[in-house]
Amino acid sequence: MNLRKYIFRTLFSIAAILCSFVSFAEPVEMADQMRSNGKIYVVVAVCLVILIGLFLYVMNVDRKVRKLEKESKGH
Amino acid sequence: MQKSWWKILSFGLLIYTIVGGFLLDVPALPILHESIRNLYFHVCMWFAMMILFSISLVYSVKYLRGFNLRNDIFAYQFATVGSFLGILGYCTGIIWANYTWVSDQGQSLSGILKEPKLIGAAIALLIYGAYFVLRSSFTDIDKRARISAVYNIFAFAMLFPSIWIIPRMVGSLHPGGQGGAGGNPALNFKDVDSRLRMVFYPAVIGWTLLGVWITTLKIRIQLINDKALLHEPS
């Protein structure tokens, strides 16, 4: 248990040191690195899925309202 | 589904907003960093809210000119969706402020709470909140429509000073405040970077059209529900 904690702590501090190197390399850090890794496309894809889902939902509601309008016109 | 060109336009513009908004180049700014991309989302909520409230005002005036209950329904639903977008704008602003003003700029929380635009926007949203309270307190439909239409005009008149004028007369952390460039930075062509404008304006139109679409759905549902009240051959 103690050994595991020790390993975790070491790994974490190494990661923290690496992170600090990355962030001090440039005066203004932008997501360039993230984009070169291709990870920003993941965010774009997730947002697109949400947006498309939202639009499909609104379209569905629109269709239902249209149906109701037709029904109420028929009466 | 009622097919309209503007619904498709809204969809296309929002797809462009997300793809272009995340992937196109933005100016490198200290403190803001990549969060400047929030311009396409947070700021657009407020713009869409303003436009929907303006449409609501037009329908309130139209109601008062002819006392057609249909216009009252339009005014009410546009105000509802406008307020909803305003609340979304507020929530997104909270997140944005937390990671720029509070953590990176070292502002104290009390400094943020003194920010005049936050107070102004809260006042404006509360005034619109009172509009809904006022509406629901009437049982007489005509009286409700008439008084809430008058109140809506007052609410719109309060909206402008509280979110656009006063924050710019006193110091504000938002752009356009005293000590900054002044004026309206979002609409000033010299102020906003052209790379941002390429996505920002389509984003405003896209979000506004989505808001209008949702509003038309709500209006159509209420028109079906209130069919008996409207005395109209449908």
Best-predicted range by mean pLDDT (A43-52, B1-10, B204-213): B204-213
pTM listed for this prediction:
0.81
In tens, the pLDDT along B178-225 reads: 555 455 565 555 566 788 889 999 999 999 999 999 999 999 999 999
Best-predicted range by mean pLDDT (A7-21, B94-108, B136-150): B136-150
The predicted model gives B65-71 an average pLDDT of 94
DSSP assigned state of A48? H
Listing DSSP states for B180-227 in one string gives S--S-TTT-TTTS-HHHHHHHHHHHHHHHHHHHHHHHHHHHHHHHHTH
The answer, yes or no, to whether residue B234 has pLDDT greater than 50, is: no
Length of chain B equals 234
More confident residue, A55 or B26: A55
Q: Pick from B22, B34, B213: which is nearest to A30 by CB? A: B34
Cα B142 to Cα B57: distance, rounded to the nearest angstrom: 18
pLDDT tier for residue B171 given thresholds of 50, 70 and 90: confident
The percentage of chain B sitting over the pLDDT mark of 70, rounded to a whole number, equals: 89
The answer, yes or no, to whether residue B75 has pLDDT greater than 80, is: yes
Q: Which residues contact B110 (CB under 8 A, 6 or more apart)?
A: none
Whole-number pLDDT of residue B174? 80
| ipTM, 2 dp | 0.75
The percentage of chain B sitting over the pLDDT mark of 90, rounded to a whole number, equals: 59
Q: Does A64 touch chain B (CB under 8 A)?
A: no
Residues of A in contact with B30 (CB under 8 A): 27-28
Whole-number pLDDT of residue B128? 96
Whole-number pLDDT of residue B28? 80
Whole-number pLDDT of residue B7? 93
Q: Does A42 touch chain B (CB under 8 A)?
A: no
Residues of A in contact with B1 (CB under 8 A): 59, 62-63, 66
Distances (CA, A) of B158 to B112, B126, B134, B219: 23, 11, 16, 25
Please state, rounded to an integer, the average pLDDT across all residues of chain A.
Answer: 75
pLDDT tier for residue B229 given thresholds of 50, 70 and 90: confident
Distances (CA, A) of B27 to A28, B188, B193, B196, B209: 11, 17, 7, 8, 28
More confident residue, B23 or B1: B23
Residues of B in contact with A30 (CB under 8 A): 26, 28, 33-34
Checking B162-167 for CB contacts under 8 A at 24+ apart, the result is: B162/B120, B162/B121, B162/B123, B162/B124, B162/B127, B163/B46, B163/B117, B163/B120, B163/B121, B163/B124, B166/B116, B166/B120, B167/B115, B167/B116, B167/B117, B167/B120
